[in-house]
Amino acid sequence: MKHKASNRKTNRIELRRLGTEKTNFASADLDRKSALEIARIINREDAKVARAVKGALRQIAQAIDLIAAALSQRGRLIYVGTGTSGRIAALDAVECPPTFDVNPRMVQFIIAGGPKALGTAVEADEDSRARGRKAIAWKKPTSKDVIVGIAASGRTPFTVAAIEYARAHGAKTVAVVCNPKSPLGKAAHVAIVADVGAEVVAGSTRMKAGTAQKMILNMLSTGAMTRLGYVYGNLMVNVHPKNEKLVERGVGILEKAAGLDHAAARKILAAAGGRVPVALVMAKAGVGRANAVAALRESQGQVRKAIAQAKRGSEFRL
């Protein structure tokens, strides 16, 4: 009992030393400010987030390359987090299929407490190393996978244990943290540190730390998908038009990428069965739907490669 009490005391002291837990003098007397003053204070502090993320760009690039390499070998990107970090991870993971039209298996998430934690706080699970190991073990990580642990403090037991387990089983591991020299950073192959400093509301890491995490995960998934060819130029060509807004977006993409007018873009999109990548390969390579589909299949959905391949096939047939 004495040992446990001593550990709790040590943990409290360590927590207070973290930059994200300190008092922010810029927001002193926040409760006495007007609405406009509060907004200005938060805005000034938020302006520091991009600079903090900029300091970690080399590590972010390393992680993008690891993820792209894993996904190209049919591996997975699996995010692990608790609380705010887990919810941000879930948001990035579930947005990848509609943005890039990839299989949901490709980018996954684990949140302490399971799916119910997305809408309800389940803080107790954060302290369980055993639950962290069990959650990642259920995913059966291998050398083909990249596991990204997200924790503002960098010391959440659930996430640290998950990363340690994944690394021991051959997976590449990445830490996204907001405090330097953290246990999570030390456990991972690549440590991405966005040192955002004290929060406007002391310890409320859903604020600057959460914003930094969202920015970094945006870079990781978008960077990897772009490297893999799921973006053409800077266009979201793998969009799957399931409603009128997305149909119009698809038509607009074809207008820009293939130099078509509105009517021609709509016509070729219809001929492609509503699939923007297929329509773009058809338009750029001058081939029919079947050849475009075959080129995309052989290039694993990479539009630029599929266009080149379809053009070569067309020239060969001539």
- The reply to whether 276 and 305 lie within a common domain is yes
The answer to whether position 200 is within a domain reads yes
pLDDT (0 to 100) of residue 243 = 80
Q: How many residues does the chain have?
A: 318
What is the spatial distance between Cα 282 and Cα 279, in angstroms, rounded to a whole number?
5
**Domain membership of residue 100 as a residue range:** 10-227
User: Is there a single domain that holds both residue 175 and residue 77?
Assistant: yes
Question: Is 142 inside a domain boundary?
Answer: yes
Q: What are residue 172's DSSP bridge partners? A: 146
CATH number of the domain where residue 29 is located: 3.40.50.10490
Q: Are residues 250 and 208 in the same domain?
A: no
Measured distance CA(221)–CA(225) in Å, rounded? 6
Q: What is the pLDDT, as a whole number, of residue 25?
A: 66
**Tens digit of each residue's pLDDT, the chain (318 residues):** 444 444 444 455 465 566 566 666 677 788 888 999 999 999 999 999 999 999 999 999 999 999 999 999 999 999 999 999 999 999 999 999 988 888 999 999 999 999 888 888 777 788 899 999 999 999 999 999 999 999 999 999 999 999 999 999 999 999 999 999 999 999 999 999 999 987 878 778 888 899 999 999 999 999 999 999 889 888 888 877 778 888 888 999 999 999 999 999 999 999 999 899 999 999 999 999 999 999 999 988 888 999 999 988 765 554
Catalytic residue among 21, 37, 45, 95: 95
Residue partners of 251: CB distance under 8 A and separation at least 6: 262, 265, 266, 269
Q: Of residues 126, 255, 298, 315, which has the active-site annotation?
A: 126
Model pLDDT, residue 23 = 61
- 2 in a structural domain: no
- Clarify whether 123 is annotated catalytic: no
SS3 of 230, please?
coil
Do 168 and 309 fall into the same domain?
no
**Residue 37 bears catalytic tag:** no
Q: In the chain, what is the greatest distance between 2 CA atoms, to the nearest angstrom?
A: 83
Last residue within a domain, chosen from 168, 193, 227: 227
Tokens, residue 110: 């684990």
Per the structure, how many domains does the chain have?
2
pLDDT given at position 241 = 75
Cα separation, 242 vs 264, in Å, equals 20
Looking at the structure, do residues 221 and 127 belong to the same domain, yes or no? yes
Task: Identify the pLDDT of residue 18.
Answer: 64
CATH number for the domain harbouring residue 294:
1.10.8.1080
- Indicate if 197 and 295 belong to the same structural domain: no
- Kindly state whether residues 223 and 249 are assigned to the same domain: no
Contact 284, 307 (CB under 8 A): yes
Domain check: are 55 and 117 in the same one? yes
